[in-house]
Amino acid sequence: MKLIERYIFGRAAGAFLLTLIALAGVVWMTQALRQMNLITAKGQTLLVFLEITLLAVPFLLIVIAPFAMVIAAIYTLSALNSESELVVLSASGASRFVPMRPLVVLSGTVAIVMLMMTTVAAPLALRQLRVELTRVNVDLIANIVRPGRFTEIEDGLTFHIRNRAADGSMAGLFIEDRRDKDIAFTYIADRANIVEMVGKTLLVMRDGAIHRLTNRDGALSIVKFEAYAFDLTGMTPQNTQPIYRPSERFTGELLAPDLSDDYTARNIGRFRSELNERFSQPLLPIAFTVIAFMALGEPRTTRQGRGMAVFSAVLGASALRGIHFAASSASVNSVAAAAFMYIAPLAVIVGGLALAASDRGFALPRPVERAIDNAADGVGAVLGAIGRRFGLAGDEQGNEGGGR
């Protein structure tokens, strides 16, 4: 690339990274708040909470990256125009491809990274996320036993703990076991923790006592212990293998689905939609960049507003994303609809490049532009009247009075 192209590329890349980080931070915070019950309700540690929320980041970046690209392109082109750099390029006889090329190269780089994420990184992260959520959901003590509550896990078996430490250990444990009609057991321990050993799940209690009550004659015996293991294996779900959704399947599984699997056979349309989405989504940042350039690539004077151009770029990108989403949803039941996931962005890219090659810009029809200008003038008149009504234009009125 030439010096000016490298300058534009660096400026756009910086804007893209800052926008991507900002948007990713906001979206991650919203997802993290949704998973806050892992700590508040399910008693998981902060490390587990961070692991689960961060595993969703690759998928979030795929959704955010095209919009971060269009924002970066809008910012870069607006800055180049406000600093008269687009005017200088146009006056020097430079082709429209000069400012467009670095933006397309940047969006192409983003598209390649997105392709790697959609086909490899995101499915792998979502798959691990499903495993972690399944493990959390079958964590007996974390999901059923709450500090300060008496919880009946099954008929005749009641748990109570005073509190739970950050490492998962429990303090002030109380267990009442009346599952046997003849004998009732009460376990009291200062502290306890869960241990997986030789295929069994054991609750290891320390520094406590066992109260054994015979229901027939009311005889009570107490045995103190330093360590005692209570078997939880029968109360822990044994089938913890998760069923992976289409978004959590590897790309190879989508390319060659196992139709003998009942879940796959029933959701083959969703598999097809997910596969086409993974390969078509990387086209969006390039298409969004072309839309932004078609709206803002023409040099304008300082007296020409760019608000409508920015609005057109945002509206065009949003419309294209809506078309892509609608085609993705329709492709679940229609093979032909999947083609529009590729046709729509490719049509924008090819059409935009063709306009740039012919040195023609995109413009609205004159009646539409005239209607928009009239609407803007009307809005300005209304705002001016409101300002005068509430005395916001007093200085102007005073100046006019002084002139008269």
DSSP codes of every residue in 297-322? -S---TTS--HHHHHHHHHHHHHHHH
Band of the pLDDT at 163, cuts 50, 70, 90?
Answer: confident
* Mean pLDDT calculated for residue range 321-341: 91
Query: Does one domain contain both 356 and 339?
Result: yes
Question: Considering its fold, how many domains does the chain have in total?
Answer: 2
387 domain-assigned: no
13 domain-assigned: yes
Query: Does one domain contain both 72 and 187?
Result: no
120 domain-assigned: yes
Query: Does one domain contain both 171 and 68?
Result: no
The residue out of 209, 235, 261 marking a domain boundary is 235
Query: Does one domain contain both 40 and 158?
Result: no
Query: Does one domain contain both 148 and 132?
Result: no
Query: Does one domain contain both 148 and 51?
Result: no
pLDDT of residue 63: 92
Query: Does one domain contain both 16 and 113?
Result: yes
| Residue 373 in this model has a pLDDT that exceeds 80 | no
Which pTM value belongs to this model? 0.69
391 domain-assigned: no
404 domain-assigned: no
22 domain-assigned: yes
Query: Does one domain contain both 17 and 130?
Result: yes
> Rounded to whole angstroms, how far apart are CA atoms 159 and 192?
12
Query: Does one domain contain both 27 and 59?
Result: yes
344 domain-assigned: yes
385 domain-assigned: no
The residue out of 201, 235, 269 marking a domain boundary is 235
- Tracing tokens 């003998």 back to the chain, one arrives at 260
Helix %, strand %, coil % of the chain (to 5):
60, 15, 25
The answer to whether the Cα torsion of 348, 350, 355, 357 is positive or negative is positive
**Where in the sequence is the domain holding 126, given as residue range(s)?**
3-137+278-361
Torsion of CA 308, 314, 317, 319, to 10 degrees: -80
pLDDT of residue 56: 86
Query: Does one domain contain both 131 and 208?
Result: no
| Residue 232 in this model has a pLDDT that exceeds 90 | no
The residue out of 205, 235, 265 marking a domain boundary is 235
pLDDT of residue 321: 94
Among 49-58, 104-113, 197-206, the minimum mean pLDDT is found in 197-206
Query: Does one domain contain both 144 and 133?
Result: no
Query: Does one domain contain both 199 and 125?
Result: no
* Mean pLDDT calculated for residue range 144-161: 77
Three-state DSSP class for residue 201: strand
Percent of the chain with pLDDT over 70: 78
| Residue 304 in this model has a pLDDT that exceeds 80 | no
| Residue 200 in this model has a pLDDT that exceeds 80 | no
